[in-house]
């Protein structure tokens, strides 16, 4: 048994350093390990290094001092290994949360930039129209008989601006995660009645036949009636805008084993396959433009309607999808059914 202090130190280093080096190599090579396993390894490496160091310093003899040290190391391992596992799980969750927050912040920043670019482009058009007409009236260029007609143009462009501002405000709340509808039991057939009443005149003026297909039994979901009216209104308005004169837009309800559904079908030109994955993106405009209308007073939309609808449906823990039919396109809303029906 070595008695010299330096000799004991040399034996301790000779026995513990290889364990530390081997542990470092193992951790470096095992990058696919979970964080919990890695933390346990980090705890065991110094414990084993201490154990082998004490064993070497004792001359590989099972002395009373070695036995006492071994008991202490076992107790330390029993205490620290569960603590390391819990700490690793906490750290893993925290890492995931931080990554999700960073991803959310990046997505929000990209969305804000798209909104700014969209606003700078789309708000400029109605503002330019209002300014041009107002300047013409102020300069006396417009005959008195036409003043009322141009005043009507200013009114229409002002309504268009107000709708854009409302949509931008709604979209900013959705992007900020501030949309928290007050949920209640809602009958979707009553929502459809409100949507039809709101869009029947616009459909008639556009020459589009607007119909509804309702089941005999009411379809009830948990949600906000105001928000769901906004969702279906946006989908119907979009369908009317892309349906030529003489076409049809139908709104149907139903339920199956997967929940409640509402479908808006149109007989328009459909959606380009390249546009389908991005049709619900903020301010995204596809290659298939709206159908030109002779009546300029018909609402043209802000370009945010589908993105707003998707955000509101998500707030209801539902899904909104789009795909092409043989003629036209279909937008389908899926929502959880209210219990007790």
pLDDT value for 288? 53
Q: Give mean pLDDT, residues 89-114.
A: 73
pLDDT value for 147? 81
User: Tell me: the pLDDT tens digits for 320-338?
Assistant: 999 999 889 999 999 998 8
CA atoms within 13 A on the CB side of 235: 31
Above 70 in pLDDT, residue 146?
A: yes
pLDDT value for 180? 65
| Pick from 52, 341, 23, 29: nearest CA to 186 | 341
Extract the tokens encoding 47.
Answer: 């414990």
Q: Give mean pLDDT, residues 60-73.
A: 70
Catalogue all structural domains in the chain, each as residue range(s) with its CATH number: 5-98 (no CATH), 123-178 (no CATH), 181-341 (3.30.565.10)
Above 80 in pLDDT, residue 267?
A: yes
User: Tell me: the pLDDT tens digits for 278-329?
Assistant: 888 766 665 555 555 555 555 555 567 888 888 889 888 899 999 999 889 9
User: Tell me: the pLDDT tens digits for 162-194?
Assistant: 767 776 676 666 666 656 666 788 999 999 999
| CA distance linking residue 197 with residue 240, whole number of Å | 14
Band (pLDDT 50/70/90 cuts) for residue 13 is confident
Q: Give mean pLDDT, residues 91-107.
A: 75
Phi/psi at 6 (nearest 5 deg)?
-65, -35
* Bridge partner list, 184: 223
pLDDT value for 2? 46
SS3 readout for 95-123: HHHHHHHHHHHHHHHHHHHHHHHHHHHHC
| Pick from 289, 275, 270, 288: nearest CA to 327 | 270
Residue % of the chain over a pLDDT of 90: 17
pLDDT value for 99? 79
Q: Give mean pLDDT, residues 196-214.
A: 90
Q: Give mean pLDDT, residues 93-118.
A: 72
| CB within 8 Å of 323: residues ≥ 6 apart | 271, 276, 329, 330
Band (pLDDT 50/70/90 cuts) for residue 210 is very high
| CA distance linking residue 30 with residue 47, whole number of Å | 20
Instruction: Give pTM, 2 decimals.
Output: 0.58
Band (pLDDT 50/70/90 cuts) for residue 247 is very high
* Bridge partner list, 264: 251, 331
H helix runs in 216-318, sequence order: 225-241, 305-315
pLDDT value for 253? 94
**Three-state SS for 292?**
coil
Q: Give mean pLDDT, residues 139-154.
A: 80
Above 90 in pLDDT, residue 232?
A: yes
pLDDT value for 157? 75
Q: Is the dihedral of CA 6, 7, 10, 12 positive or negative?
A: negative
Residue % of the chain over a pLDDT of 70: 67
């Amino acid at each position: 048994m070595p008695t010299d202090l330096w000799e004991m130190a040399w034996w301790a280093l000779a026995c513990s350093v290889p364990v530390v080096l081997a542990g470092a190599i193992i951790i470096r090579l095992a990058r696919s390990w979970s964080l919990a396993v890695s933390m346990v390894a980090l705890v065991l490496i110094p414990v084993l290094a201490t154990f082998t160091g004490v064993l070497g310093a004792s001359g590989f003899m099972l002395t009373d001092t070695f036995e006492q040290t071994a008991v202490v190391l076992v107790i330390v391992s029993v205490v620290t290994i569960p603590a390391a596992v819990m700490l690793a799980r906490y750290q893993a969750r925290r890492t995931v949360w931080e990554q999700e927050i960073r991803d959310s912040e990046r997505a929000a920043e990209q969305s804000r930039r798209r909104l700014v670019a969209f606003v700078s482009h789309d708000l400029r058009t109605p503002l330019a129209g209002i300014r041009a007409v107002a300047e013409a009236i102020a300069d006396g260029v417009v005959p008195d008989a036409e003043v009322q007609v141009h005043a009507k143009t200013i009114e229409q462009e002002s309504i268009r601006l107000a709708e854009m501002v409302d949509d931008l405000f709604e979209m900013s709340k959705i992007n900020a995660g501030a949309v928290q509808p007050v949920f209640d039991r809602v009958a979707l057939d009553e929502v459809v009645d409100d949507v039809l009443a709101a869009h029947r005149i616009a459909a008639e003026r556009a020459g589009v036949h607007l119909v509804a297909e309702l089941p005999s039994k009411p379809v009830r979901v948990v949600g906000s009636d105001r928000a769901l009216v906004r969702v279906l209104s946006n989908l119907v308005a979009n369908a009317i805008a892309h349906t030529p004169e003489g076409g049809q837009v139908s709104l149907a309800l139903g339920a199956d084993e997967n929940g409640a559904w509402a479908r808006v079908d149109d007989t328009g030109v459909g959606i380009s396959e390249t546009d389908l994955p991005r049709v619900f993106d903020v301010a995204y405009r596809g290659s298939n433009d709206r159908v030109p209308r002779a009546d300029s007073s018909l609402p043209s939309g802000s370009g945010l309607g589908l993105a707003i609808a998707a955000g509101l449906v998500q707030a209801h823990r539902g899904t909104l999808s789009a795909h092409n039919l043989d003629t036209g396109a279909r937008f389908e809303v899926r929502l959880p059914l209210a219990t007790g029906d």
